[in-house]
Amino acid sequence: MDEKVAHHHHHRSTQDPTFSAKSRPTREIIARVARYLGPYKWMALGTVGCAVLSLAFSLAYPKLTQFVIDDVIGHKRANLLAPAMLALLGAFLLRDAFNGLRILINNTFEQNVIYDMRREVYARLQRLPVNYFDQRASGDLMTRVIEDVNSVERVLIDGTEQGTVAILGIIGVTAIMFATNAKLAAVALIPLPILTLGAWWYTSTAHRRYRAQREASSAMNALLMDNLQGVRQIKAFGREQHEDERFAQRADDLRKGTLGIMRVWAAYSPTMSFAASSNSASRSERSTLEGPDSSSPSYSGSI
């Protein structure tokens, strides 16, 4: 009898209709979950605003450094050293102050959204028909309420904030580079198509890797939940060794799924870093061979 129960639980987990359902477009998913941000729009604006201000003061540092090296030290204007150092200190202070405020607002924002989403997901589960639960393991449903809500929140909030800051950072850095030395800035953008194609490939292929990990995690949680609920039956029939082997198999599937993600990242991240670094080396060599550009300011404070 215990084997039949165990087989039924395994069948429910592996045949979960969620995993065979047609995937929804990313735009549709974002539109459905974005409504959770509505009640906290001022927190969202505050988070992005603090992140942008922190970025702005970060971008001020290289220009201030250039001013110190080229004007204060290069022209021996010692009277400007103290104000320049205070400006640098102020830039660091304001950068970290706005970053700390961003973290405080963002964490409050995140927890509020997680609370609303989790409460609504649970309320929805309570009102579904009984046959819905016949096709799904309880451990998988637990995973959705606990883990999946956090994952959606991270994409929705952290993804929006970090994406906005990244785009503004690229625009700001590119503008400073072209204003400082247009020729070297153009050379610095050579690996941009490679980096763009790499990011597109990783993003477009990541879904199936994370889906495999998600299925393995849900299967392991489902087995754990069912076994804990039926621990008396397991002990009564002496099935501890059998259940150890089943759990070890589910845990191994999760390990393999996670390693699959890490292996691709281990190849992708260094490759993109090498593409950017090799271009930096060639840019430095070109700058050394050509010498300083007399028609533009010194490049010592560039990013």
User: Which distant-in-sequence residues (6+ apart) come within 8 Å of 55 by Cβ?
Assistant: 165, 168, 169, 172
Query: Tokens 């104000």 label which residue?
Result: 83
Nearest residue to 58 via CA among 159, 163, 168: 168
Q: Which domains does the chain have, with CATH numbers?
A: 2-290 (1.20.1560.10)
Q: What angle do CA 257, 146, 156 make, to 5 degrees?
A: 85
Give the per-residue pLDDT at 84. 84
Helix (H, G, I), strand (E, B) or coil at 24: coil
Tokens of 232: 């008396």
Q: Residues 35-51: pLDDT tens digits?
A: 888 888 899 899 889 98
Give the per-residue pLDDT at 131. 85
Tokens of 61: 């540092």
Taking the C-alpha atoms of residue 67 and residue 86, their distance in angstroms, rounded to an integer, is: 13
Give the per-residue pLDDT at 248. 94
Contact, 146 vs 117, CB < 8 A? Answer: no
Per-residue pLDDT of the chain (303 residues; tens, 9 = 90+): 444 444 444 444 445 555 555 666 667 767 777 788 888 889 989 988 998 899 888 888 888 888 888 888 878 888 888 888 898 899 899 999 999 999 999 889 888 888 888 888 888 888 888 888 877 777 777 777 777 777 777 777 777 777 788 888 888 888 888 888 888 888 878 888 888 898 889 888 888 888 888 888 888 888 888 888 888 989 888 889 999 999 999 999 999 999 999 999 999 989 888 877 776 655 555 555 455 444 444 434 444
Taking the C-alpha atoms of residue 246 and residue 128, their distance in angstroms, rounded to an integer, is: 30
Q: What is the pTM of this model?
A: 0.66
Specify the amino acid at residue 244. D
User: Residue 7's Cα: distance from chain center in Å?
Assistant: 37
